[in-house]
Structure 1
């Protein structure tokens, strides 16, 4: 066999450690390097497997000897170590690309700027309820690589971010879903929308006739991309604006799904019976419904699952109703578009908690909704100048706060019966919190202490 192939894993979070365990199982010599500290439970995983690793810095010499490198999606291309690897033409892969080599399962891959997690979880819920032997991975839960190493699933539902797609080359989605493309992470794409859109369209690379591509027909950026990219798969669009011959559409508050390639009976369901409410969730439900129909599940099964699903934590999560005021935790909204979706689905007047680390946000798209729905903005972040500048003409009250507790107390005093207090920050969380989960959990704790 000659000597072992030597692989380096950059980043020792869930995806990196999963990739390391799989690489070892597949006979590679493995070295894991993290520029920051490694969490104790991941160190334990690596120690138990006798995989060598380092933290708080990179040993360049050891890394640059690799035959290939699996990198965490969070490491940008402009990181010095990535530049050096690129100069030496050492292949850099995402964990999904690497793990995909070692699995024969059918891949259902979901991407988009917003709604990925919800649609991935809903799709998984429907397929699991139908009795499929299915894994859930990507941006959610246990890493894909770890599951490929230790489980044996026939199907995977994978939530795929643009950062993952950027380092995917041979991987093929049997079913690809593209929900929407709106400005996000543009700092990683030279501030060019078309670069970001091209990255999202990588979800269809390597697809063949007989594979499936499901997309939103109402999204302007997707429409542009369809003209530019060759589609080999069977296509099923979904729309709430127009009736479609093949795919999903809305008519008289009913979702209707027709798949003519498949000669199946139509699927119909009233949007009032969906577990997930709000316009954007009609899209998410349509996308999941088409996947289920492509896999020829029974209409009854699909309907029942779409009615019984409970949403993921920190995404439009109802926390409590206190004195007639609803408190909603949407901490996962780390971009302006997510906040737009959240506001759009709120009934009545809102006290909006916004702010954190601003990724070059353009707040213009929120202006109309803020004018019509928001009675006060509570800023939760170290630097709230841009929020004040964006909305000072649209809202009477804008207050600064520096903790979840303070934000909740003030929002409660500003709200009246029938209002909603919505935490939907439109920003990253790491100025005051560890991550969006920490921000959401502190918000929920503060609400429960009212």
Structure 2
């Protein structure tokens, strides 16, 4: 695909005025396009964003979408927060008007190779690890996409960087992959695959299909870094062309990253490198060992030296809200895993610990099968406190097999009860298996409040 240089004379419509929508609008404007942004919201945040874009000459309309105005554009870009079954998107599709995602739009202006990272869980940690390992090697890397939390910009901002990087690294969600046409990674990384976002998809299959769009432009030159122990992913990638490299805690083949004893090891056709011991990885959890294996293998394929990779792993400080140790007090350890917004992520969190757990579960109910948690909870001799919109259903699905209490009150009530129910030697793990939107704006706010409450209780106890 040829890199787009200019949008002179072309009309671009952007649906959505979140961070991705604003970034796409600026990119289109900088490239000479005639830009129109449509946003349903009329709140203070939307008005502020509209003002910012209008000040540089971009047309923005708040309130109900005007189908005719959007349909008249040559290219229609949809922000990832806009569901594809929403009214305006359905109407456009019914009239034969195709739409693309913001990363797809940005990719058309990338002038260097792309590492694209997707998967149900572990995407952000893996993408940020890859970036650190390549930077440790002295390579210029531009990280963006679905990273969130203010840790990296939308993809469209990367398309405006002055100097072309050695690598673009994008984390891509299923929502962003749903609008892919030309996006083609040089190296594609797929961390794992499990049911998620069933509040937005009508079936697991629909979610998997969107995830599978990372493969849509694969050819024999493509490189794929895949989880060697994930059977759902193996099925999805079965007929995808390109060269495959696997990662797994056990041996994963002749071109792979795996554990040789306790050593992170990368084996390629021409070499085998022992990189770092598991005990030296500064991240909690067995699932993070897999993230390290995926990142190390990807960095090796991108030309990084073994020394750079091992040094970079050792320096990686981890990310907030992902099996993040908050404090140990009175022989009880408190861990913030608020980013675990689906059952599979929570299973990974639970299985990362060998000690007894008190697991805090709950939040917005998006219809997942919570009985999948039982095996892991029983294996760790875990107790569970359940709360929020999903609390009743969690209690009903777990009560026959797990010691579980339902706390119907506030989040503060949940933490107060946990403080009294935890025994010395326990780890209290906030790993909710649900989104936060019933009580909080996002998982970051939930995790921050958890840390705040825990430290408040610690201070009171110490007084």
Q: TM-score scaled by structure 1?
A: 0.94
1:234 corresponds, among 228, 243, 248, to: 243
Q: Residue 404 of structure 1 contacts residue 446 of structure 1 at CA under 8 Å; is this kept in 2?
A: no
Q: What is the CA distance between 1:40 and its match in structure 2?
A: 6.1
Q: What is the CA distance between 1:88 and its match in structure 2?
A: 2.1
The residue aligned with 2:35 is: 30
Q: What is the CA distance between 1:268 and its match in structure 2?
A: 3.6
1:322 aligns with 2:332: no
Q: What is the CA distance between 1:397 and its match in structure 2?
A: 3.8
Structure 1, unaligned stretches of length 5 or more? none
The residue aligned with 1:251 is: 260
Q: What is the CA distance between 1:298 and its match in structure 2?
A: 1.4
1:18 aligns with 2:23: yes
Alignment partners' CA distance in 2, 1:401 and 1:50: 50
Q: How many residues align structurally?
A: 445
Note closer, same or farther for the CA distance 1:153–1:329 as it changes in structure 2 (3 Å cut): farther
SS of match in other structure, 1:266? strand
Q: Residue 110 of structure 1 contacts residue 158 of structure 1 at CA under 8 Å; is this kept in 2?
A: yes
Structure 2, unaligned stretches of length 5 or more? 1-5, 458-463
Q: TM-score scaled by structure 2?
A: 0.91
Alignment partners' CA distance in 2, 1:296 and 1:103: 20
Alignment partners' CA distance in 1, 2:381 and 2:361: 12
Alignment partners' CA distance in 1, 2:286 and 2:391: 29
SS of match in other structure, 2:264? strand
1:191 aligns with 2:196: no
Note closer, same or farther for the CA distance 1:137–1:166 as it changes in structure 2 (3 Å cut): same
Task: Spell out, residue by residue over 1:53-99, the C-alpha distance to the aligned partner (whole angstroms, 9 max, x if none).
Answer: 13343233322222221101122221110011112222201011101
Q: Residue 122 of structure 1 contacts residue 309 of structure 1 at CA under 8 Å; is this kept in 2?
A: yes
TM alignment of 1:153-164, pairs within 5 A: 153-154=164-165, 155-164=167-176
Alignment partners' CA distance in 2, 1:226 and 1:402: 44
1:418 aligns with 2:456: no
TM alignment of 1:234-383, pairs within 5 A: 234-260=243-269, 263-373=270-380, 375-383=382-390
Q: Residue 7 of structure 2 contacts residue 32 of structure 2 at CA under 8 Å; is this kept in 1?
A: no
Q: Residue 247 of structure 1 contacts residue 290 of structure 1 at CA under 8 Å; is this kept in 2?
A: yes
Alignment partners' CA distance in 2, 1:348 and 1:136: 36
Note closer, same or farther for the CA distance 1:324–1:55 as it changes in structure 2 (3 Å cut): farther
Note closer, same or farther for the CA distance 1:197–1:53 as it changes in structure 2 (3 Å cut): same
Note closer, same or farther for the CA distance 1:383–1:205 as it changes in structure 2 (3 Å cut): closer
- Please give the root-mean-square deviation of Cα atoms over the aligned residues, in Å: 2.0
The residue aligned with 2:178 is: 166
Task: Spell out, residue by residue over 1:302-344, the C-alpha distance to the aligned partner (whole angstroms, 9 max, x if none).
Answer: 0011112111111111111121211111111110000000000
Alignment partners' CA distance in 1, 2:63 and 2:136: 43
Alignment partners' CA distance in 2, 1:153 and 1:330: 36
2:395 corresponds, among 388, 394, 403, to: 388
The residue aligned with 2:90 is: 83
Q: Residue 109 of structure 1 contacts residue 159 of structure 1 at CA under 8 Å; is this kept in 2?
A: yes
